[in-house]
């Protein structure tokens, strides 16, 4: 690949890095975990859940000390918890993309160096 093509690709990656950093620099809070609806049986005889009408509640699954812990989400906080966990997932995806992007950039910079390096005059 030629030096001009490498510079063009580096410029495209530079723009992508800028976009990712913009996402990562946001100040909105994040929650590490996953919010979801839990459906279960209570085990009481004669309860409607025995007929398939399971009890539902919203929970937040949060990693703690290497294990997942479930926390009940208060009634009015479900949308807020869902948006904060989604922001966390977007943050982590952007971070992972940034790691790959920097590896690609370094590879291209090395290739650009090889393209531009000439033998010393004798």
pTM: 0.81
The set of residues, in sequence order, having a beta carbon less than 8 Å from that of 34 and lying 6+ positions away, is: 60, 61, 85
Where do the structural domains in the chain lie, given as residue ranges?
3-116
* Sign of the dihedral defined by the CA atoms of residues 39, 42, 48, 50, in that order: positive
Task: Give the pLDDT score at 111.
Answer: 94
For 76-118, write each residue's pLDDT tens digit: 999 999 999 999 999 999 999 999 999 999 999 999 999 999 9
Confidence of residue 59 (pLDDT cuts 50, 70, 90): very high
Neighbouring residues of 89: CB distance < 8 A, sequence distance ≥ 6: none
Q: What is the pLDDT of residue 45?
A: 87
């Amino acid at each position: 690949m030629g030096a001009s093509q490498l510079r063009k690709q580096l410029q495209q990656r530079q723009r992508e890095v800028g976009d990712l950093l913009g996402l990562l620099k946001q100040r909105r809070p994040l929650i590490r975990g996953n919010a979801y609806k839990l459906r279960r049986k209570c085990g009481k005889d004669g309860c409607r859940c025995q007929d398939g009408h399971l009890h539902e509640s919203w929970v937040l699954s949060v990693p703690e000390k290497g294990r997942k812990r479930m926390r009940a989400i208060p009634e009015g906080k479900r949308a807020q918890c869902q948006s904060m966990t989604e922001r966390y997932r977007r943050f982590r995806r952007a971070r992972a993309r940034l790691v790959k992007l920097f590896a690609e950039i370094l590879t291209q910079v090395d290739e650009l160096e090889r393209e531009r390096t000439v033998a010393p005059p004798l």
